[in-house]
Structure formats: C-alpha cells, structure tokens
Structure 1
C-alpha cells in the first residue's frame, strides 16, 4: 500500500468531502489522521482515504455515525490479521452482512424513488411540450 502522506486539502479533493466534514469525522472518531506534520497539519494515507470513502458511501444510504463506526470497527478487526477469539470472526462477518443487506435494501428504495422522479420529470416535459406547441 502507498505510504505517501497527503494533507487534508488533497484528501478533501479526492473524496469530494469538505474540510469541515473530514474534521467532523475526525472529531467523532470515525477517522484519525495517520500522522501530523511538524507544523501540526493533519496527514493522511491511502488507507485513510479508503476509510473516508466508506463513510462517504454510507452517508447517502442513511447510515448513522454510530452505524458507520460499528461497521468500520468490524472491518478493521477482520482486516487486522490478529487472531480472533472463537466465534468472533463469524460474529464480525454477520455484522458486515447485516450492513450489506441494509445497504442493498436502501439502494432498492432509492432506485424506486429515482424511477418515480424520472417519470415525474418526463410528465412535466411532455406537458410543457404540449403547451408550447399549441397555437
């Protein structure tokens, strides 16, 4: 993995999150800068960017900060390479599966909303077309 450090502005640009949002996620414990420069600037790695992208993708699906924290904790523990207690790995995988199910359900709801919105926009466009083509 890339060990290069980035300042918060580059991370904001790459993740399309505002500086304020990234700082908020830091304050709430969702992400922690990997290092600080001598001048005290936050420094992030690719792993930090990947973590922020998980958060960014969860937000529009309606996940709470606590749910984000719980999922990140589960994936961190699964990815740590540390030995897990008996049954712990399966419990963590079950938690991740639950989030995957919830995300899929929310995507389906959003697809339905998008279809309805597109139908409404098409109805308005057709109405305007009829109104503007009449003599």
Structure 2
C-alpha cells in the first residue's frame, strides 16, 4: 500500500506517518519503482496502535518500547533480550498507565459535558427572558 491509502485506513495524516517513519516507529517495507513508500498490513497495524497510544498521551519513546513488545520485529532488540516475565511486567505497567489515562480522559469528558449542560441552561434562560421581553 502507498502512504495515501495507509493514511486513509489508519486515520493519520501523510505528514504524521512520515514523522513516525523519521523517528523509527514505522519503516515502510519497500519502495515502488517510482520511489513511493510501500507499507504492509503489519505497518498498518503498527500505525493504528501508534494512533491509539497517541490518544492516551504516550511519548514517542514509550510508543517505541511498547511496540517492540506488542509487534516485535528484527530491529526491536530490547524485546528480544527481555525474559517473558520482564515483558509481562512492562506490559502490566503500560496497562496501568493506559487505564489511569483513560480515567483522566473520562473525568475531562464529564467536565466537558457539565459545561455543555451549563451552556444549554444559560441559552434556555436567555431565550425565555427574550421571549418575555418581546411578548
């Protein structure tokens, strides 16, 4: 797949995908004769995971570490050297962090809903007051 198709499928911009390539989070499998990046289904899975991690505020180095555990490849040396128990510990830590960040996002969303309700109440009161004045 070329970068445009991958961008559409994973919901990232071309620029973002190129940035992730520059920092080593994803590596296009090959290039076409015309020099276009060609991505595999595995690259697409990797980019979708990166997008999910980004939503939770994971840093690039954290993404790299987690990807090396979830989708190891030949260039992900740390995962290959870790024992199974060490890998599980790291995954547990990431899971706890993700869970905590989800809780924070839920709290922020609740606050946003409360604010929206306040705006609706203010609009309703203003509409009622305007109707009384006009009526």
**CA shift at 1:49, angstroms?**
0.5
Q: CA deviation at 1:74?
A: 1.8
Within a 5 Å distance, the mapping from 1:1-135 to structure 2 comes to 6-77=1-72, 88-134=83-129, 135=132
Q: How many residues align?
A: 124
What SS does structure 1 have at the residue aligned with 2:38?
Answer: strand
RMSD: 1.6
Q: Which runs of 5+ in 2 are unaligned?
A: 74-79
1:62 deviates by 1.0
Describe the superposition over 1:64-95 as per-residue Cα deviations: whole angstroms up to 9, x where unpaired.
000000101122349xxxxx67x711111211
Distance 1:65 1:24 in 2: 11
CA contact (8 A) 2:46 2:71 kept: no
SS in 1 for 2:71: helix
- Higher RCO (CA < 8 A, seq sep 6+): 1
> Which SS does the other structure have where 2:46 is aligned?
helix
Calculate the TM-score normalised by the size of structure 2: 0.86
**Greater Rg, structure 1 or structure 2?**
2
Q: Which segments of 5 or more consecutive residues in structure 1 lack a partner in the other structure?
A: 1-5, 79-83
After TM superposition, the score normalised by the length of structure 1 is 0.86
